[in-house]
Chain A
Amino acid sequence: MLTAENLGKSYGGQAVLEDVSFSLGEEETLAIVGPSGCGKTTLLYLLSGLVRPDAGRILVDGAPVAGPGPDISIILQDYGLLPWRTVVDNVALGLKVRGVGRAERLDRARRQLAELGIAGRDADYPANLSGGEQQRVAIARAFVTRPRLMLLDEPFSSLDALTRERLQYALLDAWKQRRVPFVLVTHSLEEAVVLGKRIMVMSDRPARPVRVFDNPGFGSRSILDTEACFNLLRELRSTVEDLW
């Protein structure tokens, strides 16, 4: 459903991405790992249409991505919630932008929040929420417009281990329910294994895909306890250690 062809991007003469090609199937997920500062966020910005690539093109279901739109939701590295809007208004923002009436968008936003386990905090402001709650709100915000593709930029990196695990499972469950494909950038190899049907390892700048791993055990909550996963992690780790 998503195809990236020979993407390139430079900032100030410095190549950040070079010749990045990959594809993502319907009902698939892709986890991207790479060294810090290599250009993972830049790649997601290109995929979302927020930034135009210098070279190459991005196709969603065969049509080029012309700019940000309702089909693709991106969760920015630090959630991207607006501090001056209440929780429910933040979630409803994507619907508001699309011209959905006030009553309907608030109702849909509330239901989406409840689905993600946040009820009764509608009128609070993001600053009053814990990191984990803010992340749930950000996920609700991305889900509520029923996108066809989700992009997540290190969504759980600033959370404590337990909350992170819980939210990883929440995302996995949401994926199982709706099968909305997503691209997830992460620093954690374990997270990549839990959430990526395929795992793409990027090189240091200029970033390009070095290897793509298949993850046949993907989808199970207890994947980290399996032998196959253990071997995959070991292989991932040695690839990463050679590269970075």
Chain B
Amino acid sequence: MNLKPLLRYALVVLVLGLIWKGAATALGGIILPAPEDAARAFFSAMATADFWAHFATSAWRVVAAMALAWLTAFPLGLLMGSVPRVDALLAPFIFLTYPIPKIVLLPVFLLLFGLGDTAKIAMIALILGYQILVTTRDGVKSIHPKYFDSVRSLGGSRRHVLREVLLPAALPHGFTALRLGTGVSVAVLFFVESFATTRGLGYMIMDAWGAMDYLTMFSGILGMSLLGAALYEIANFLERRACRWMFLRNKG
């Protein structure tokens, strides 16, 4: 087990805590509670089943959305990047709708999919899926043709080109998009959880905010930060596992 990332996290938390402390002192400590109070509240919240129920709901929504986004957008990006006819057909749709802020479709999604988790998951998946789709497509398009020649020269068929070139060359792009997309995913998660639900960290934050219970609010904020950091690390881990060759350059 490598302790370096943990140390780095600890250092960052410490620095942020100091800044927070300064700000809290300056603001008088009501709107912004002191970090040690927030931390204490956070730790006691972590001892309650209620907090973990909110956390689990949020985690389920965002992980399901990320998996859905990846499993649809990555293959589609691979297809668009490698089959010019499919790309010619779909690319105009993708790039004309790309600049539209998908989040404004949330009311439509709520009408379409109801107030349950489906609409929330679909919203996050749509936004993240666009990133993964476009990144993967562009990545596949930029694969050097010499790798196709290399496999074809050995007598490889389309299936071999897919398995030996397209897939391994596209994976890093797909995983980088996933990793960088964790931030946006959690942000969208917060937004969709502030409507039409009584579960999830987003709800917990907004509910406590309405009740002016700032300590609970910060417990939710810290919980969401924890969720975001965990997702980033998981995506990072997956990327390193699936694309080991990318990270070996400087060794040996």
Contact = CB atoms under 8 A, between A and B. Distances in A.
Interface of A: 45, 48, 50, 67-70, 73-74, 76, 78, 80-85, 93-94, 96-98, 124-125, 127-128, 145
B45 interface: no
* Closest 5 A/B residue pairs (Cβ): A80-B150, A84-B168, A128-B252, A94-B154, A125-B245
Contacts of B107: none
Contacts of B154: 68, 70, 73, 93-94, 97, 145
Residue of B149, B154, B160 most packed against chain A (CB within 10 A): B154
Contacts of A127: 245, 248-249
B153 interface: yes
B22 interface: no
Nearest to A138: B150
Contact of B168 (A70, A74, A82, A96): A82
Contacts of A97: 151, 154-157, 160
- Per DSSP, chain A at the interface is loop
B153 A128 contact: no
A82 B150 contact: yes
Contacts, number: 68
16 contacts: A50-B152, A73-B153, A76-B153, A81-B150, A82-B164, A83-B245, A84-B168, A85-B168, A93-B151, A93-B156, A96-B160, A97-B157, A125-B244, A127-B248, A127-B249, A128-B248
Interface in B148-207: 149-157, 160, 164-165, 168-169
Contacts of B244: 125
Interface in B216-252: 243-245, 248-249, 251-252
Interface string B138-156: 0000000011011111111
A124 B245 CA distance: 9
Contact of A80 (B153, B155, B245): B153
Nearest to A124: B252
Given A76-B149, A128-B251, A82 B155 contact: no
> Which of B149, B150, B243, B252 gathers most chain A CB within 10 Å?
B150
Contacts of B169: 84
B155 A98 contact: yes
B173 to A, nearest CB: 12
Contacts of B151: 82, 93, 97
Contact of A76 (B146, B157, B160, B243): B146
Nearest to A44: B153
A143 to B, nearest CB: 12
B168 A68 contact: no
A98 B244 CA distance: 26
A80 B146 contact: yes
B164 A85 contact: yes
Contacts of B157: 97
A70 B165 contact: no
A52 B117 CA distance: 55
A48 B168 contact: no
A17 B146 CA distance: 21
